[in-house]
């Protein structure tokens, strides 16, 4: 920790190696005693120039890199990229791809399962930052079960590289549907336990109530998205309001913050964001069940159910000559809106691929809301935004 004294003010570096910063984030904090007077986030420690790499790879080769953009929800990152590329291809008359029905359902199922496991990390890490260790173990135990399902289907537990342009890499493993159903049933029980243990825990509520409230106007202006935006009371979810993939076929509610802590709290405080995230887990369970009910069976043909090995023939052909132009495609990821601004010059290599991520925008608000917070609440703030640093630096 570096200390610099200037009269009554002390400037100290929180991070880059700090257990509560969820990665390598450095916050340059100026404090007056325990109270923060200024806070400047310093990022770039995890910058791997993924956007530059994208300009040197073919469209389908970039999928494994999207795993690394946000490795806590790699499936959602995959989903966002393949949907963005498919949307770009759909703007050309000859390059529009037909995505197999079953692949569409598998994508949504895995995206929602990964959303659950990502929220489990987010919620668990948040409670751990606040000093409660047990809920974290409960949460991460559920994440392991999701990883088991993913591992059996695609062979990896963290960076899946499972979805591809035109479909998914391979069909679900035999018995995956039953395992998913069993997991969802078990998860509901664990979530009830989790809520009894921590969400409604008086000490925990008191710790987060009224901490770092973000007004609706600020949340919009500073580009908060996902549960962070909804925590501030704005009813907006891309899955419902700008549906992509087949999200328009499912019925679910969008949890919105409304001073869950009662009189102790304020709209858009840390507790609202925490509760929104935990309610979203319930909605994801609902979506997963609908997916499992509606999913068509595998057709049994070699090439059909999932689009073939890696990239189907139609996709290969389309990706060699994509339409010239650009697209901005937005997806609802666990940490907010992930957007790809793709520019294509008609070759098999992207001309430009800009990645907009939820955590990056969430960090931009720190300078605005940190003054006046206690140092201990800064930890609560980082946890309640569920920031993941590789997504910030890319």
Partner 1 sequence: MSSVPSRNPSRGKALSFEELLAKVQEGFPTVKAGSAPNGARWIAVEAASLLEVARHLKSEPSLSFGSLCCLSGVDLLKFPPPAEKDGPASDQLVCAYDLHSVEHGHELRLKVSVPPERASVPSVETVWGVAGFFEREIFDLYGIEFRGHHDLRRLLMPPDWIGHPLRKDYEYPVHYADWELKREGQAFESGPYK
Q: Which residues bind partner 1 (CB under 8 A)?
A: 40, 43-44, 47, 49, 51-52, 55-58, 61, 88, 91-92, 217-218, 220-223, 234-236, 239-243, 247-254, 323-328, 330, 337, 339, 341, 343-347, 349, 351-352, 354, 356, 360-361, 363-365, 367-368, 393-394
Closer to partner 1 by CB, 49 or 134: give it.
Answer: 49
- Whole-number Å distance between alpha carbons of 1 and 28: 11
Name every residue whose Cβ is closer than 8 Å to that of residue 228 and which is 6 or more positions away in sequence: 214, 219, 273, 336, 358, 362, 384, 385, 386
Q: Tell me how far, at minimum, the Cβ of 322 lies from partner 1, in Å.
A: 8
Closer to partner 1 by CB, 57 or 298: give it.
Answer: 57
C-beta contacts of 98-102 below 8 A and 24+ residues apart = 98/314, 99/166, 99/167, 99/307, 100/167, 100/304, 100/305, 100/306, 100/307, 101/296, 102/171, 102/295, 102/296, 102/297, 102/298, 102/299, 102/305, 102/306
Q: Tell me how far, at minimum, the Cβ of 356 lies from partner 1, in Å.
A: 4
Q: Tell me how far, at minimum, the Cβ of 198 lies from partner 1, in Å.
A: 28
Closer to partner 1 by CB, 87 or 298: give it.
Answer: 87
Q: Which of 297, 287, 198 is nearest to 251 (CA)?
A: 287
Closer to partner 1 by CB, 66 or 127: give it.
Answer: 66
- Whole-number Å distance between alpha carbons of 136 and 22: 14
Q: Alpha carbon 269 to chain centroid distance?
A: 20
Q: Tell me how far, at minimum, the Cβ of 83 lies from partner 1, in Å.
A: 16
- Whole-number Å distance between alpha carbons of 21 and 13: 12
Closer to partner 1 by CB, 64 or 206: give it.
Answer: 64
Q: Tell me how far, at minimum, the Cβ of 141 lies from partner 1, in Å.
A: 30
Q: Tell me how far, at minimum, the Cβ of 192 lies from partner 1, in Å.
A: 24
Query: Which residues are paired to 41 by β-bridges?
Result: 27
What letter would DSSP give residue 248? G
Determine whether 137 is exposed, middle or buried from the number of CB atoms within 10 Å of its CB (0-12, 13-18, 19+): exposed
Closer to partner 1 by CB, 98 or 253: give it.
Answer: 253
The two beta strands, 9-14 and 26-32, are antiparallel
- Whole-number Å distance between alpha carbons of 322 and 324: 6
Closer to partner 1 by CB, 126 or 355: give it.
Answer: 355
Q: Tell me how far, at minimum, the Cβ of 236 lies from partner 1, in Å.
A: 5
Q: Tell me how far, at minimum, the Cβ of 229 lies from partner 1, in Å.
A: 9
What token pair was written down for 355? 């990645």
Closer to partner 1 by CB, 173 or 289: give it.
Answer: 289
Contact 190, 138 (CB under 8 A): yes
- Whole-number Å distance between alpha carbons of 57 and 62: 6
Reduced to 3 states (helix: H, G, I; strand: E, B; else coil), residue 36 is strand
Q: Tell me how far, at minimum, the Cβ of 299 lies from partner 1, in Å.
A: 23
**Number of H helices and number of E strands within the chain?**
16, 9
Closer to partner 1 by CB, 98 or 345: give it.
Answer: 345
Closer to partner 1 by CB, 144 or 345: give it.
Answer: 345
Q: Tell me how far, at minimum, the Cβ of 350 lies from partner 1, in Å.
A: 9
Cβ neighbours of 52 (radius 10 Å): 11
């Amino acid at each position: 920790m570096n200390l610099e004294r200037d009269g009554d003010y002390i400037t100290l570096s929180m991070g880059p190696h700090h257990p509560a910063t969820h990665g390598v984030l450095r916050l340059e904090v100026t404090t007056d005693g325990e109270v923060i007077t200024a806070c400047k986030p310093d990022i770039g420690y995890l910058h791997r120039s993924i956007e530059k790499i994208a300009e040197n790879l073919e469209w389908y080769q970039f999928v494994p890199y999207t795993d690394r953009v946000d490795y806590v929800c790699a499936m959602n990152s995959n989903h966002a990229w393949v949907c963005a590329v498919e949307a770009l291809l759909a703007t050309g008359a000859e390059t529009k791809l037909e995505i197999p029905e079953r692949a569409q359902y598998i994508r949504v199922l895995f995206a929602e399962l990964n959303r659950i496991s990502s929220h489990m990390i987010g919620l668990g890490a948040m409670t751990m930052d606040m000093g409660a260790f047990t809920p974290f173990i409960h949460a991460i135990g559920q994440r392991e079960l999701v990883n088991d399902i993913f591992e059996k289907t695609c062979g990896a537990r963290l960076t899946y590289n499972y979805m591809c342009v035109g479909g998914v890499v391979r069909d679900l493993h035999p018995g995956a549907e039953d395992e998913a159903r069993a997991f969802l049933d078990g998860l509901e029980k664990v979530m009830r336990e989790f809520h009894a243990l921590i969400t409604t825990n008086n000490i925990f509520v008191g710790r987060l109530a009224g901490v770092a409230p973000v007004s609706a106007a600020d949340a919009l202006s500073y580009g908060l998205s996902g549960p962070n935006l909804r925590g501030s009371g704005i009813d907006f979810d891309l899955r419902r309001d700008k549906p992509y993939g087949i999200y328009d076929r499912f019925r679910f509610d969008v949890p919105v913050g409304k001073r869950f802590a009662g009189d102790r709290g304020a709209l858009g405080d840390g507790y609202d964001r925490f509760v929104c995230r935990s309610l979203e887990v319930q909605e994801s369970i609902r979506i997963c069940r609908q997916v499992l009910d509606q999913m068509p069976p595998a057709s049994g043909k070699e090439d059909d159910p999932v689009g073939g090995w890696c990239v189907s023939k139609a996709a290969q052909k389309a990706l060699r000559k994509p339409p010239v132009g650009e697209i901005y495609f937005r997806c609802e990821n666990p940490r907010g809106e992930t957007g790809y601004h793709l520019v294509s010059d008609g070759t098999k290599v992207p001309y430009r691929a800009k990645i907009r991520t939820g955590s990056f925008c969430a960090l931009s608000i720190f300078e605005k809301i940190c003054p006046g917070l206690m140092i201990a609440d800064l930890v609560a703030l980082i946890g309640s935004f569920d920031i993941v640093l590789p997504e910030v630096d890319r």
